[in-house]
Structure 1
């Protein structure tokens, strides 16, 4: 970045500075330990789950393939965000290159929406399993999972590309300090000199198109599931049917609750510290990643048994 004689800063931005929790500096100290523990937990739990599903032949089924995709997405998102946040906390390494910033922005937007899409496919999987059990083997096949994954990759990969491109084309003449721990689209765009209406509108439209449509379809799937479950007459059938959906439903709650709280704090930003949305944004990239594999590991007998068998073999 170069400065002119009149004191203005030119648009030759080569890097940004991530200004983390400047209003609440003590947060960095007490956040660093739980964040590092959550990162280690996310890495260990997701890696264990992926290895178990890969090596256990009994887990080579569509539902577990979808769970593997969730674990992979969680690992990538976590590693894209949390190590940099910890580097800022521990070593004050606030600088991030222009390219790395927009790459991080793309991965966050793309992979989180891919996770939402995978949850939607998992909800359909549970809907077919409970509402059309006899047709399940012919509908939810390996080919179905492959096509669903290609659709999610194409849809989210292409629709989120304009987000970092629009931000990277802006004229950054107000400095290079981002008031955030991560390269969130609006936090970065806000320090430019341009009108960012298009950036805001595209982010909003993209969010509603991807996350909104997925959540609506998930809601409808569970509405049909609940209706079908309540019609079951056999003793214990309701509990058994609901238990097959329980883990998946908890994962969706982890994913959507923090997101919902984050949106609400942004709406009520005048009443809360500006650091609260930043904190929630960071937590949203690590809390679900750490808890998702544990929920499935604890609640799914097949995975639990698979992990136990692998531990006995010593991997």
Structure 2
């Protein structure tokens, strides 16, 4: 009796990109390339400055470095492939690469959400317990927080591509997106996807829900403390700082939730609109975070000037 071949061929996927805008790809590539370069350069500058300047070796800037690393990974996991699509019409992505990209994007998105929540807690401690700030947020405590958040995202998000990669893809392998989003890939399966859909929904609600609730609660407490400040100048400075942080946070969650909801319930939303919003939540925050959390911070500005002066002497 001849041996039976049990291996199943895994298909390559075709990324549609921005349906209907193919004629404008050359023009679209320019702003995406510029934003990507700004994001990469900005986050690398933050990492280098914090590394070189010992006065910045504090909990606040440690979390900022974690955010910078996440942002570098988040935009690099999508934009280079998109630029290949714009310039070389390289829309095909292998089966394995698709699920690796899926994991990286969703894992880093969850980690960014968690890091924003921890940074809000950092500001809360700095305002409510300024004298005990460094004793509460010790290096060991920071490492534990980052490790817990890393493991939470790695385990919960890691199940998504594992489940999705086991689905049979019988006919269409055209992903109506510019990267391997979980639901965009799962919808191509020729079988029941209830488990994958519900698990993705549950994980998103758990991670985003808990982080967003914690951020809102923390900033309400911060605002309460700021209103008690005696100096009007100090209140305005605090509101200006918190307002900038909240703008980035609201943008990140608004665009993320828009993408999440429209994939499940917004069938009437044009594909190119959905794709644009999704990419912007992966690209704009990595570009804005170094400015909002870094350059607008006095210590970072002074450290950058100091490093530049040292380079020319």
Task: State the TM-score, normalizing by the size of structure 2.
Answer: 0.92
1:100 to 97, 113, 123: 97
> 1:143 Cα shift?
1.6
1:209 to 206, 209, 213: 206
Which stretch shows the higher mean deviation, 274-283 or 147-156? 274-283
Q: Which runs of 4+ in 1 moved over 6 A?
A: none
2:284 to 284, 287, 290: 287
1:274 to 271, 275, 278: 271
Which stretch shows the higher mean deviation, 253-262 or 192-201? 253-262
> 1:132 Cα shift?
2.3
1:84 to 68, 81, 86: 81
Map of 2:129 onto structure 1: 132
CA distance in 1, matches of 2:222, 2:291: 24
Change (3 A) 1:234 1:39: closer
> 1:246 Cα shift?
4.2
Question: In the alignment, is the contact (CA less than 8 A) between 2:160 and 2:200 conserved in 1?
Answer: yes
SS for the counterpart of 1:161 is helix
Encode CA deviations 1:68-90: one digit per residue, 9 max, x unaligned. Answer: 00000000111111000110111
SS for the counterpart of 1:17 is strand
> 1:27 Cα shift?
4.4
Question: In the alignment, is the contact (CA less than 8 A) between 1:17 and 1:176 conserved in 2?
Answer: yes
Change (3 A) 1:252 1:96: same
Question: In the alignment, is the contact (CA less than 8 A) between 1:265 and 1:276 conserved in 2?
Answer: no
CA distance in 2, matches of 1:11, 1:18: 22
CA distance in 2, matches of 1:185, 1:261: 15
CA distance in 1, matches of 2:129, 2:240: 17
Map of 1:190 onto structure 2: 187
Change (3 A) 1:27 1:202: farther
> 1:151 Cα shift?
0.8
> 1:12 Cα shift?
2.1
SS for the counterpart of 2:93 is strand
> 1:253 Cα shift?
2.6
SS for the counterpart of 1:236 is helix
Map of 1:226 onto structure 2: 223
CA distance in 2, matches of 1:211, 1:297: 24
SS for the counterpart of 1:193 is coil
CA distance in 1, matches of 2:230, 2:172: 66
SS for the counterpart of 1:191 is coil
2:23 aligned with 1:12, yes or no?
A: no
2:194 aligned with 1:163, yes or no?
A: no
CA distance in 2, matches of 1:133, 1:242: 18
Encode CA deviations 1:110-152: one digit per residue, 9 max, x unaligned. Answer: 1110011111111111111112223322212212211111111
Listed as ranges, the gaps of 5+ residues in structure 1 are 1-9
> 1:101 Cα shift?
0.4
Task: State the TM-score, normalizing by the size of structure 1.
Answer: 0.91
> 1:261 Cα shift?
3.7
Map of 1:120 onto structure 2: 117
Map of 1:63 onto structure 2: 60
Query: 1:248-259 alignment to 2 at 5 Å?
Result: 248-259=245-256
